[in-house]
Amino acid sequence: MTATLDHGAAPLVRRAASRPLKQLVVPYLYVLPAALFVAAFLLYPMVLTAWRSLTHFDGISDPTFAGLDNFRDLFADPHFLLSLRNTVIWTVAAVVFPVTLGLVFALAFSRVRWGGFFKTVIYLPATISAAAAGILFSFVFNYDNGILNMILRGIGLSGLASRWLFDVPTNTFAMIATYTWQQTGLNMMLFLVGLQGLPPEPIEAAKIEGCTGWNLVRRIILPMLMPYVVITTLLAIVNGFKVFDLIWVMTQGGPGRASETLAVTMYREGFILFKQGYSAAIAVVISIVALAFSYFYLRSVLEQEARQ
């Protein structure tokens, strides 16, 4: 064991000095192909986006430098402000529903008969694409013969039957419901991993002292599970903030532009309205917020790994 841990510097640094030229070149032959792919297709466009956000650019004529004009315009643009508001609603809902339900399901399915089967079924929606889920649920939410309205009319609640995907803000909540259906399984799996790692002793001790059911969950299990709650919540924020596919297939951000989120607004401004500089500024805003939460997420994951 010590031998493998001690692979570090000593023997190989000594050898490096006497390495022939070929030996010095070889590692680059392995690393460069991957590095070039990432640099050309990801890093170069990323830097360009940052630069474009400071220009007026329609994709055809030469970009002109605009300083922070685009960002100032953003916060005076009612489309952007509505989109920002929708994104905040999405982000909050993406935490509240899929994470809470994921936790409930993880608790409900641990140590229950058929538990493995239940877990698999709840996780299945996470294996299909957001686009496919969106298409399927746009049929569920259809006004005329959608399953939801059919059931509501069938049980005498016709008054509740709605134009789920056309009314504002109902359509955002219908899409969030779809998102919840898809994401809950993922969160449940993360919580199950957390539950499996809990030490059994405190739980057994609490049970012997008569602490059971909801009390046991609240007083003993939840506090111990807290690191996982934090990690799952931060991941849900990052993902909820970037939602695009589901909205694109269910409402395209409509009616009008009423249900757009930042990711959809960015796509529309850049690829439909060809305001590329403006669109790049939205991309920068999305990135700054997502990066901030990603940072906290990664820090929690690393802390959790260090603890184990």
Partner 1 sequence: MSAEIGEATGVAREAKFTSALILTVFWVLPIALLVMSAFKTPIEFSSTSTLALPQSFHLFDNIARAWAKGMASGFVNSAIYGVVASVISVILAAMAAYGIVRLRIPQGMFWFLLIYSGTIFPFQMYLIPLFNLYLDTGLYDTRIGIIAFYVAITIPFCMFVMRGFFLTVSWQIQEAAALDGANSWATFWRIMMPMARAPLILLVLIQFTWIWNDLLFGLVLTKSESVRPIMVALAGMQGVYGASDGPSVIAATLVGSAPTLILFLALQRYFVRGLTLGMGER
Q: Which residues, 60 to 99, sit near partner 1 by CB under 8 A?
A: none
Map the footprint of partner 1 across residues 165-184, applying CB under 8 A: 181
Choose between 35 and 160: whose C-beta lies nearer to partner 1.
35
**What SS3 state is found at 14?**
helix
For partner 1, the binding residue among 193, 205, 273, 292 (CB under 8 A) is: 193
Segment near partner 1 (CB under 8 A); pick from 80-88, 91-99, 168-176, 287-295 = 287-295
Map the footprint of partner 1 across residues 246-285, applying CB under 8 A: 248-249, 262-263, 266-267, 270-271, 276, 279-280, 282-284
- Beta strand pairing call for 64-65 and 55-56: antiparallel
The least CB distance from residue 74 to partner 1, in Å, is 14
Q: x/- site string to partner 1, residues 219 to 238, per CB under 8 A? A: --x---------x---x---
The least CB distance from residue 42 to partner 1, in Å, is 4
Q: What is the DSSP letter of 219?
A: I
Residue 265: exposed, middle, or buried by beta-carbon count in 10 A (0-12, 13-18, 19+)? buried
Neighbour tally for 243: CB within 10 Å: 23
For partner 1, the binding residue among 155, 213, 306, 308 (CB under 8 A) is: 213
Q: What is the DSSP letter of 160?
A: G
Choose between 82 and 133: whose C-beta lies nearer to partner 1.
133
Q: What share of the chain is helix, strand, coil (3-state, %, to 5)?
A: 75, 0, 25
d(CA 122, CA 183): 9
Q: How many helices (H) and strands (E) does the chain have?
A: 16, 2
C-alpha pair distances (Å), 23 with each of 8, 10, 29, 31, 301 = 18, 18, 11, 14, 37
Residue 26: exposed, middle, or buried by beta-carbon count in 10 A (0-12, 13-18, 19+)? exposed
Q: How many residues bind partner 1 (CB under 8 A)?
A: 107
The least CB distance from residue 178 to partner 1, in Å, is 9
The least CB distance from residue 258 to partner 1, in Å, is 19
For partner 1, the binding residue among 88, 168, 217, 230 (CB under 8 A) is: 217
**Does 205 help bind partner 1 (rule: CB under 8 A)?**
no
The least CB distance from residue 93 to partner 1, in Å, is 18
103, 233 Cβ separation under 8 angstroms: no
The least CB distance from residue 48 to partner 1, in Å, is 4
The least CB distance from residue 163 to partner 1, in Å, is 14
For partner 1, the binding residue among 14, 20, 21, 27 (CB under 8 A) is: 27
**Does 161 help bind partner 1 (rule: CB under 8 A)?**
no
d(CA 294, CA 235): 8
**What SS3 state is found at 56?**
strand
Segment near partner 1 (CB under 8 A); pick from 46-54, 83-91, 155-163, 166-174 = 46-54
Query: How many residues are present in the chain?
Result: 308
**Does 164 help bind partner 1 (rule: CB under 8 A)?**
no
Query: Measured on CA atoms in the order 94, 96, 102, 103, is the torsion positive or negative?
Result: positive
